[in-house]
């Protein structure tokens, strides 16, 4: 084997190992991170309590005081 072929194999193996480690840690991080919640955020106009409700709800009743509120807009 020539020196250039040996060097090419060495670089290819190292890049393949780095790619494998990157994929491994990417999958590992994704499996431990919590899934995104798609709930809507509400803030009560009366008692200022912040709470969430299902994404398909347009108006929600406050669990603290019972007032019906609109979702927060950011």
pTM of the model: 0.52
Confidence class of residue 1 from pLDDT cuts 50, 70 and 90?
A: confident
d(CA 6, CA 35): 45
Structural domain boundaries in the chain: 1-33, 40-69
Per-residue pLDDT tens digits for 11-59: 999 999 999 999 999 888 877 767 777 889 999 999 999 999 998 889 9
Residue 50's H or E segment, with its range, is: strand 50-53
Helices (H), 1-74: 3-32
What is the chain's percent helix, strand, coil content, to nearest 5? Answer: 40, 20, 40
């Amino acid at each position: 084997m020539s020196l250039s072929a040996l060097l090419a194999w060495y670089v290819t193996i190292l890049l393949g190992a780095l790619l494998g480690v990157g994929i491994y840690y990417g999958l590992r991080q994704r499996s431990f991170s919590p899934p995104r919640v798609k709930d809507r955020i509400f803030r009560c106009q009366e008692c200022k309590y912040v709470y969430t409700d299902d994404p398909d709800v347009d108006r929600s009743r406050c669990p603290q005081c019972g007032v019906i509120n609109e979702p927060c807009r950011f």
